[in-house]
Amino acid sequence: MKILNMTRKFIFIVISLFCILIGLYPFIYYVILQQEFSLLSGKPDFIKSSFVWKIGFYTHIFFGGLALLLGWTQFVKKIRQRNLKLHRQLGKVYVLSAFLSSVASIGIGFFSTGGMIAAAGFVSLGFVWFFSTFKAYTSILSGDVARHEMWVIYSFSACFAAVTLRLWTPVLALVFEEYITGYRIVAWLSWVPNMVVAGVIVMVKRMKKPSLKMV
- Would you report the helix, strand and coil content of the chain in percent, each value rounded to 5? 85, 0, 15
pLDDT at 151: 96
pLDDT at 100: 98
Give me the sign of the Cα torsion angle 145, 9, 209, 215. positive
Q: What is the pLDDT of residues 118-136, one digit of tens each?
A: 999 999 999 999 999 999 9
Coil/strand/helix, residue 66: helix
Of the pLDDT bands very low, low, confident and very high (cuts 50, 70, 90), residue 15 is very high
Q: What is the pLDDT of residues 74-120, one digit of tens each?
A: 999 888 888 999 999 999 999 999 999 999 999 999 988 888 999 99
pLDDT at 34: 61
The answer to whether residue 211 scores a pLDDT higher than 60 is no
Cβ of 134: how many Cβ atoms within 10 Å? 16
pLDDT at 4: 72
CA atoms within 13 A on the CB side of 211: 2
Q: What span, in angstroms and rounded, lies between the C-alpha atoms of 4 and 197?
A: 17
Task: Choose between 46 and 151: higher pLDDT.
Answer: 151
H-run or E-run covering 4 = helix 2-26
Of the pLDDT bands very low, low, confident and very high (cuts 50, 70, 90), residue 2 is confident
pLDDT at 3: 75
**pTM for the model:** 0.89
How far, rounded to the nearest angstrom, does the alpha carbon of residue 131 sit from its chain's CA centroid?
12
Nearest to 88, CA basis, from 145, 160, 18: 145
Cβ proximity of 60 and 105 under 8 Å: yes
The answer to whether residue 5 scores a pLDDT higher than 90 is no
Nearest to 151, CA basis, from 201, 102, 101, 78: 201
pLDDT at 33: 67
pLDDT at 81: 86
pLDDT at 38: 57
Q: What is the pLDDT of residues 57-78, one digit of tens each?
A: 889 999 999 999 999 999 998 8
**In angstroms, how far is the first alpha carbon of the chain from the final one?**
33
Q: What span, in angstroms and rounded, lies between the C-alpha atoms of 1 and 7?
A: 10
